[in-house]
Structure 1
Amino acid sequence: MGAGKRLLTHVQLVGEAADSLITCYEGLGILFDAQLLELGVAIHDAGKILHPQELDAPGSLHEPAGETLLLAHGVQNEIARCCVSHAAWHQNDLRFEELSIALADKLWKGKREEALELKIIDAIAQQLGKSRWDVFAQLDTAFEEIAAGGNERLSRSR
């Protein structure tokens, strides 16, 4: 669809963070759709094909543009929606996988987003039938380890 090298590199780097999240989730034994998470990461910034200036500058034009582009190419709605939902993680109607795409898109560059991380932690705690604090330390450590590689991944993003 015309994605440039920088966008493809970005997808790869976010994918590295997502792979670490998937490994963490699998280690906890939670149920989630790893394929949806991987596909969502692969397409979350597809709109930057049409709005390449948003690779370097803030902007949200790429979000609805990406969803529209993917739908026009026959991509399933639940996957195309990730173009918008990765930036709308504060909404309450998002699936766990969509929240995880948003988290990978933060952690890849070393950014910690407490409110987003707590949504993930709470979702996992609920699924496991545990309290937030029973899973907090393990997940916080995993998130910190992923974020710690942010500077190195950022150096490969240019």
Structure 2
Amino acid sequence: MRSRALRGALTDPGLRPLPERAVRLLEDVGAPPRLAAHLRAVHDVAAEIVAWVDERYPAVGADADAVLFGAATHDIGKARHAAELSGPGSEHEGAGYALLREHGVEERLARFARTHASWNGPDVGIDDLLVSLADKVWKAKRVDDLERLVVGRLAAASGEEPWEAFMALDDLCDRLAAGADDRLAFQNAYPT
């Protein structure tokens, strides 16, 4: 049985619901309510990003379902490293990956727990970059290196000049960042 606060973080209006599989995982690991609220905020932004990419850059080949699951579970390791909910740390990344694998989540989906904070690895694809982008822009944080990598993938797939892809992504990120205060308020309404 989940706590009332966790139930609220998973079902209260204001943000898109998480995929059911992610909800079950969060319940199974006893996720703190603030973690569930954070994952909903990132997932909500990821849904906007993948819809935009699918419409404007379909040739990039983003796997929307994978990105949405990744956004919904990328920080699940914080259920085991709760101090990282309100402070710095990277212990949750490996722990989250292990936790997802222990619960039967396949590698192609569990990897986001590891890749969401380090986007320069050789195996990092567009789906990983989109989860990372959602994890930053949900709170209006802009990361030049990350956005440059996304722009490169968008321009390469579409044939656009990089500056054109940059302008389009910049507009999207500005629009998404405008909702950051509401998303932060949603997250902070739940206990750690």
Q: Does the TM-score normalized on the shorter chain lie above 0.5?
A: yes
> What's the RMSD between the two structures over aligned residues?
1.1
Residue of structure 2 in register with 1:28 after alignment: 56
Q: CA deviation at 1:23?
A: 2.0
On the 8 A contact 1:111/1:150 being kept in 2, the answer is no
Percent identity reads 37
What do residues 55-80 of structure 1 show as CA deviations (whole Å, max 9, x unaligned)? Answer: 00001000000111111111101211
Residue of structure 2 in register with 1:62 after alignment: 92
Residue of structure 2 in register with 1:110 after alignment: 140
Amino acid at match of 1:127: A
Amino acid at match of 1:3: A
Amino acid at match of 2:165: V
Residue of structure 1 in register with 2:164 after alignment: 134
Residue of structure 2 in register with 1:80 after alignment: 110
Residue of structure 2 in register with 1:148 after alignment: 178
Q: Distance in 1 between matches of 2:164 and 2:128?
A: 23
| TM-score, normalised with respect to structure 1 | 0.95
On the 8 A contact 2:139/2:177 being kept in 1, the answer is yes
On the 8 A contact 2:97/2:111 being kept in 1, the answer is yes
Amino acid at match of 1:123: R
Q: Distance in 2 between matches of 1:100 and 1:53?
A: 26
Q: Distance in 1 between matches of 2:47 and 2:66?
A: 12
Q: CA deviation at 1:29?
A: 3.7
Q: Distance in 2 between matches of 1:92 and 1:115?
A: 15
Runs of 4+ in 1 over 4 A off after TM superposition: none
User: Number of aligned pairs?
Assistant: 158
Q: CA deviation at 1:99?
A: 0.6
1:8 aligned residue (36, 43, 51): 36
**Greater C-alpha radius of gyration:** 2
Residue of structure 1 in register with 2:20 after alignment: none
| TM-score, normalised with respect to structure 2 | 0.79
Q: Distance in 2 between matches of 1:153 and 1:123?
A: 28
Q: Distance in 2 between matches of 1:32 and 1:105?
A: 17
State the secondary structure of the residue aligned to 1:157: helix
